[in-house]
Structure 1
């Protein structure tokens, strides 16, 4: 039972606020092309050319500025899916968004997220 409670406390601490100006940081990854056309958690179909992303807790439709901390390049994305499910990652970007922040070659980069709403 204690292990379950500790697990819940850990998850609660990772939740990001939907309030404009709220920030978070961690690692970003991006969807592979094989997901093109698949349904997202919001019901939309994934479009690798759209500026969208997956986040574990932010409401669908939330707009987020993502900054690649390695090169300071930025992209604004709309949350339309849930994820990422890999430990230590805070957001999964569409291929278009990943290209805009210059992370295609590396695959995973440190980022800062800022809620725009």
Structure 2
């Protein structure tokens, strides 16, 4: 009898903390939250530039030099960086000028552009390398981590294998 009297309060406490209805509702809530999170990730990926998308870019220079970017880094107008609205911070993208076919790889370290319908703001150095003085028409290609290692490992020089 003592064992039953001890078991009843333990059973009641357990049933209070682990209510099957609440557990099922919480499970549904987590599933719905996870599904909405995945759909927002898919929507985010859909906003990223495609390989055939023509983008308008500009550049920013001395007025922002040394100021903090969205990634927390200081903006260096002489570094190969860019600001983009949707590409992940600290990721890389290949930017190709559609007029002269010059390309550079930039690191996305800031958010923007917030002027007009521009898709990206390049650092002064990146814009100069591409031959862009004001607005430019470019193709932006997001790079995977494997793709960024190739151009960075040989400092932009093609390997000379015979």
Please report the TM-score for the alignment, with normalisation by the length of structure 1.
Answer: 0.79
Give the structure with the larger helix fraction.
Answer: 2
Q: 2:121 aligned with 1:87, yes or no?
A: no
Number of matched pairs: 101
**Take 1:13 and 1:96, find their aligned partners in 2: how far apart are those partners?**
28
2:6 matched residue in structure 1: none
**Take 2:112 and 2:47, find their aligned partners in 1: how far apart are those partners?**
12
Give the structure with the larger strand fraction.
Answer: 1
2:126 matched residue in structure 1: 97
Tell which structure's C-alpha radius of gyration is larger: 2
Q: Which moved more, 1:77-86 or 1:26-35?
A: 26-35
**Take 1:14 and 1:102, find their aligned partners in 2: how far apart are those partners?**
29
Unaligned stretches of 5+ residues in structure 1: 1-11
Shift, 1:13, TM fit? 9.8
User: Higher RCO, 1 or 2 (CA under 8 Å, sep at least 6)?
Assistant: 1
Unaligned stretches of 5+ residues in structure 2: 1-43, 145-162
Superposed CA deviations along residues 6-56 of structure 1, whole A, max 9, x for unmatched, are xxxxxx797106xxxx43321010003111001101111000111000000
Please report the TM-score for the alignment, with normalisation by the length of structure 2.
Answer: 0.58
Q: Does structure 2 retain, via aligned residues, the 8 Å contact 1:26–1:88?
A: no
- Say which of 74, 94, 112 aligns to 1:45: 74
Q: Does structure 1 retain, via aligned residues, the 8 Å contact 2:71–2:90?
A: no
- Say which of 93, 96, 103 aligns to 1:64: 93
